[in-house]
Amino acid sequence: YFSRGIATKISHVTTPIFYPNAKPHLGHLYSSLLCDVQHRWQLAKGNQSLFTTGTDEHGIKIQTASQKAGFSDPREFVNTLYPEFIKLNKNCDIEFTRFIRTTDQDHIENVKVLWKTCWDNGYIYKGEHKGWYSISDETFYPESKVIKDPNNPGKYINTETNNEVVHQSESNYFFKLSAFRERLIDYIEKHPQYIYPKSKKDQILNELKSSTGMQDLSISRPVSRLEWGIEVPNDPDQKIYVWFDALCNYMSSLGNIESIRNNIPVTSQHNLGGVNNVELKEPLELWKNTTHVIGKDIIKFHTIYWPSFLMAASLPINKQVIVHSHWLCNGVKMSKSLGNVLDPIQMVEYYGADSLRWFLLENSQLEEDGDFQEDKLFMIRDMFVSKWGNLINRCCGTKFNIKRAVDEFSSKADVESSILQLFEDEQDMKIQIENIFKNLKELPNLMDEKINKFEFAQLLRNIWSILSDANTLMQDAKPWTREGIKQDAIIFTCTETSRILSILCAPLIPRLSISFLNRIDVPKECQTYKYIKLGSDTKYGSKSNDKGREVPITKLQKRDT
C-alpha cells in the first residue's frame, strides 16, 4: 500500500491519547468515532489513511491513581487499564491502525530526541519555578487566576477548574513558549483551516493577541515529585512533563523524528488491512497530512504548546486540529462524583455498536455540547428496524423478484430514464422516483463534504429522509398490486436505495451495512464504493426472495435501568 507510491491522497488521523487512570467513557468513544468514520471514509474512497489512538501513561495523574488503587508500580497499573481502551475500540468497531502507548520504547526515544533538539536550538533552559500549582490539573496557574477557596478556609483554588492549588518552588526546565507568540499568530492567520471550527480558531487567536506575553512553560518535574515519567536527557533528577511527552505521540506513531524530518522511508507499527508494520514511503507527507481530533478541554495544549514545540525543533506543523465539544448526560456534565458517567461498553452490549455510533453522530455538533439520552438511542434501533430493515424485508417478499428487476434494469444504458419513462402516465410516481434518484446521486459529494468537516447531524437526517422517501414510494406505489415491469421498477428503486445507502454508510455503521447488503445478496466484491452508482451492480438479488430468509435486524426491548 504505502510503499507502492500510488498517487492517491494520504492522510493520518489521531485521537487524543487517553489517560488509563479509569475505564474509558463515552467522551473517549466519541473522539475515536469521529476519527474512525474519517479513516474508513478515506479508505472507502481508495485513499490511503492511517488512524492512531492510544494511552497517555506517564505523569503525576497516573502515578497518584496507581497509588490510590494500591499498585506499587504504575506500569502494572496501566497494564491493567489500557486493554479496556482496546476493548472499547473493538466492541465499537473502531478500526485504528496503531494503538500507541507512551511507555512504548520507540516513543520514549522520540521524546528524548524532541527534547534534545529543542535544547540544541536554545529553547529549553533550567530555572527556578515558583507559583500556584494544581496537582489534579498538573498545571501552574498565574496569580490572577487564584482565589481563596470559599468552602475551605486556608486553602486556595484556581478560577479555571476550581481545583485546589498550592504554592510551590522548585527547580525545573523551562520551554521558551514566550518566543513563539508572534510566530503562532502569524501561522494561524496564514492557515485559517489549521484550527477548526472557526470559533475555536478565533478563540485561540484572541487569547494569543490579548496576552501581553506568554509565560514560559515548565516542562519537567523533580524526581522527588514525579517518578513515573521519561527522564530528562542528561539529568537523572528530573522527569519530562507529561504533556511534552504525550503530544510527541503523534509523531512517534508514524516513526522516528529524524526520518520524518528528512522524509526517509520508515517501517511504522501500523496494521493496515491485516499487514503489520507498513512501510511509509514519505513519512513527512503523512505528517503534513495529519489531523488531530480533540475535545475542547485540551485545545491550548494542541494549538499553542504543540505547534511551539514543533517550531522549536524546526519541524513542520501538522495539517489540522479539529475541536469537538463535550457530551452531557441528560443535560448534566458527566462526573464520577455524580455517578452519571456512561459506560459505552455496556451501551454497546445492549444496543449494538451501530446504533450507538449513529446516535452519537446524529446528536452532536462540533460547536455544541451533545446530550446523551438513552431513550433516543433506543429509538435509533427502532428506526433501523422500521425504516431500513423493513424496506429491505418488503422488497424481499416472495411476491417480488429482485434478481429479475436487477437483470432488467442494470443492463440498461440509461437506467434512470428507462425507469422514469415507464411512469409517464403516473406523474406522482415519476416525481417520487426522480426525487429519490436525484438525492442518491448527490449524496456521495455531500457525504464527502460533511465528513471532511466532521459535520454529521444534518447529513444523517438527509440519509433518513432518502429512506423515508423510498418507504413512501413503496407505500404509495403498492407494488404487490402490480405485475411485470412496473412492479420490478418499484422494487428496483427501493433495493437500489437500500444498496447504495448501505455502501455509503459502511464507514458510519460498518456491521449493519454489511448485514443489509448480505440480505439482498450483494456479492462481497461489489460491497464497495466503486458500486455506488444506480444500476452499477448487475449481480445482486439472486436468492433474496426465497422463503424463510432471516431478517437483517430485529427490534429490542428497552433496557431495564
Binding site for ligand ME8 (CB under 6 A): 16-19, 27-28, 30-31, 56, 246-247, 249, 294-295, 297-298, 326-327, 334
Which of 49, 38, 36 lies closest to 289, judged by CA? 49
Comparison of 245 and 416: residue with beta carbon closer to ligand ME8:
245
Closest approach of Cβ 297 to ligand ME8, in Å?
5
Closest approach of Cβ 121 to ligand ME8, in Å?
22
Strand 195-196 to strand 156-158: parallel, antiparallel, or no bridges (unpaired)? Answer: unpaired
Tell me the residue number closest to ligand ME8, measured at CB. 27
3-state secondary structure of 358: helix
8 A C-beta contact, residue 133 and residue 140: yes
Closest approach of Cβ 329 to ligand ME8, in Å?
9
C-alpha grid cell for residue 198?
A: 472557526
8 A C-beta contact, residue 265 and residue 279: yes
Comparison of 18 and 173: residue with beta carbon closer to ligand ME8:
18
DSSP, res 129: E
Comparison of 202 and 297: residue with beta carbon closer to ligand ME8:
297
Strand 156-158 to strand 139-141: parallel, antiparallel, or no bridges (unpaired)? Answer: unpaired
3-state secondary structure of 83: helix
- The answer for residues whose C-beta is within 8 angstroms of residue 410's C-beta and 6 or more apart is 535, 536, 537, 538
Closest approach of Cβ 17 to ligand ME8, in Å?
5
Closest approach of Cβ 53 to ligand ME8, in Å?
10
Comparison of 57 and 537: residue with beta carbon closer to ligand ME8:
57
Comparison of 111 and 278: residue with beta carbon closer to ligand ME8:
111
Closest approach of Cβ 88 to ligand ME8, in Å?
12
Comparison of 112 and 302: residue with beta carbon closer to ligand ME8:
302
Comparison of 302 and 394: residue with beta carbon closer to ligand ME8:
302
Sign of CA dihedral 291, 294, 296, 300: negative
8 A C-beta contact, residue 323 and residue 295: yes
Q: Is 307 left (phi over 0), alpha (psi -120 to 50) or beta?
A: alpha
Closest approach of Cβ 81 to ligand ME8, in Å?
11
% helix / strand / coil in the chain, to the nearest 5?
50, 15, 35
* CA 445 to centroid of chain Cα atoms: 20
Separation of alpha carbons 513 and 236, rounded Å: 54
Comparison of 17 and 286: residue with beta carbon closer to ligand ME8:
17
Separation of alpha carbons 315 and 116, rounded Å: 13
Closest approach of Cβ 525 to ligand ME8, in Å?
37
3-state secondary structure of 315: coil
Separation of alpha carbons 359 and 342, rounded Å: 14
Comparison of 135 and 446: residue with beta carbon closer to ligand ME8:
135
Closest approach of Cβ 24 to ligand ME8, in Å?
8
